[in-house]
Amino acid sequence: MTGTAPLHGQVALVTGASRGIGRACALALGRSGAAVAIAYAQREDAAENVARAVRDDGGAATTIGADLADPSAAALLVNRTTSELGGLDIVVNNAGVTRDGLAVRMSDEDWDAVIALDLTACFRVCRAALRPMLRKRYGRIVNVSSIAGVMGNPGQANYSAAKAGLNGLTKSLAREVAGRNITVNAVAPGFIETEMTAALSGDVLSTVIATIPAGRLGTADEVAAAVCFLAQPDAAYITGHVLRIDGGLGA
């Protein structure tokens, strides 16, 4: 990787990086010159494939398995990233889970599980990552939110609440650390081509696409491009922003 790459010499940690949007972010950051720590919960083989792809493009990568439901996982991720790759400059909080259902039928367990992983775990990773970033007086945090956290979505009270909370967390942290040259932003994807949308029936998919002004689903690479931009030094004056990547759905 040449020194002309915008993220040359930087280290990125991406959670939920074994597939989908996380995978696309890890690959894009690697192509931009960053060494990438690929965090995963269960799919070790998939995570290793992502790391191999980063290395094949000339970058450096490592994989780290961690269950983010464990309160100690955040510190483990940050410590292993810094020890194995030499530092930490960029964090992409992408790991998440859905447990959909109408609110009147939603169990406490399904509510708690989504809040725990999609919001609380993200806070813990941010808290752990900010410590070395504050000492260094530099950092980029990008939280992967959702248009559901902006607009709400029927059948996803838990997910929408977690992502709305993530947007608030993003804005609060941005105000706290802006003076140390650390930015904290979020991206809010709409309907993106992933394993989840691939499982939708043709009729359901057609109904979804009909609601999107752009007339199509987005791609994980389009989300990753926005994440990469926010992670760059040139994005230093953008912080506390929630960037919608939704084909006009929330316009």
Q: Which residues are catalytic?
A: 159
Cα(26)–Cα(14) distance, integer angstroms: 6
Query: Which distant-in-sequence residues (6+ apart) come within 8 Å of 237 by Cβ?
Result: none
φ/ψ (deg, to 5) at 185: -130, 170
Three-state DSSP string of 103-171: HHHCCHHHHHHHHHHHHHHHHHHHHHHHHHHHHHCCEEEEEECCCHHHHCCCCEHHHHHHHHHHHHHHH
Q: Give the integer Cα–Cα distance in Å for 29 and 100.
A: 31
Residue holding tokens 């941010």? Answer: 126
- Residue 23 near residue 17, CB atoms below 8 Å: yes
Report the alpha-carbon distance of residue 9 to residue 124 in Å, rounded: 25
DSSP 3-state of 3? coil
Q: Of 157, 164, 144, 159, whose CA–CA distance to 218 is shortest?
A: 144
Say if residues 65 and 41 touch (Cβ distance below 8 Å): yes
